[in-house]
Amino acid sequence: MTTSALCHQAVEVKFITSEPIDLSGLLASSHHPEAGAVVLFSGDVRDNNLSKRVSYLEYEANEAMAAKMVAEILEEARLKWKLNIAVAQHRIGKVGVSEAAVVVITATPHRREAYEANRHIIDRIKHEVPIWKCEYFEDGSKLWGGNCNCHEITGSPDKHIYESPQS
Amino acid sequence: MKGMCRGEDEGMRGKYQPDTSKLLPQSSYLKPDNSYLIEKLKTMKIEVYAVLKEYFEKEFTLSKSFKDINDLRNFLIDSNPKASGVLNISRFAVDNEFVDNNYSLKENDNISIMPPSSGG
């Protein structure tokens, strides 16, 4: 399964895509009659990192595994927070400065659950899903990085420390 | 984590390319008939991702038996000691399912080796 059907609409979202992310289109498709809160998180490419000017990023994924994991993460969150809408999409390939590399949209009756679930979903995508970024700097150097370093603390590549509460 | 953040030029040197002539199981040579000639070569397909591509070919095959993931990891570390740092923190999958270090490898398994995620 590589796409998710929005609950009430026939729109299908590819979890992993090499096309630019259509933020406004996805948002427009994410309104729900029972939802009073819609939260959209867009993870954008910054023009700097490690005190160096970034030209662009290039993302790589194990696409089959990544799509399956994103689907599972969304489904778990949908059940836990009773989400009306749960959408996520991550881009692969070259992504320019100010462009969205990843988007997460959650919609619920009230804002608290939409925020919580959204943060949970992006945390898990960043830590667990097999997607990697390579930074290309203006000075011509490149760096595979921004890696999840949780294993240094937890001792296991399968145990992570999340910004958001996971209980 | 040191050694994972490598420049392009340095990382492209010394990629591991398996010498399959040395990796054929010894028993293949010892069979009394010619069955080994028609026997489908039992191999393990390996695909690596992200920074691991600076140490290994993106995809390669090994015609060798490994007891488990630990065994395979140690073999790869011996093949390219510079990759030990990242191999020791990478996750392994067989046929696109994560497996732990004690997973018993079978012939014709498709292995993915994945460094810690850095998406988002």
**Domains, chain B, with CATH or none:** 39-120 (3.10.20.30)
CA-to-CA dists, residue B74 to A101, A145, B116, angstroms? 35, 24, 18
Which residues, 6 or more positions from B62, have their beta carbon under 8 angstroms from its beta carbon?
Answer: B18, B23, B43, B44, B46, B72, B75
Q: In angstroms, what separates the C-alpha of A46 from chain B's closest C-alpha?
A: 12
* Interface residue of A144, A149, A153, A162 to substitute, partner B, most B CBs within 10 Å: A144
Query: How many Cβ atoms sit within 10 Å of the Cβ of residue B61?
Result: 14
ipTM of the complex: 0.86
Higher model confidence: residue B41 or residue B106? B106
Statement: A3-154 belongs to CATH 3.50.50.60: no
Contact B4 A147 (CB under 8 A): yes
The CA distance from A79 to A22, in Å, is 26
Higher model confidence: residue A111 or residue B32? A111
**Residue-wise pLDDT tens digits, A84-117:** 999 999 999 999 999 999 999 999 999 999 999 9
User: From start to end of chain A, where are the E strands?
Assistant: 3-5, 12-14, 16-17, 37-44, 48-49, 52-61, 85-91, 93-96, 100-108, 131-137, 142-145
> What is the reported pLDDT for B20?
52
Domain residue spans of chain A:
3-154
**Residue-wise pLDDT tens digits, B45-92:** 999 999 999 999 999 999 888 999 999 999 999 999 999 999 999 999
Of B1, B5, B115, Cβ closest to residue A132: B115
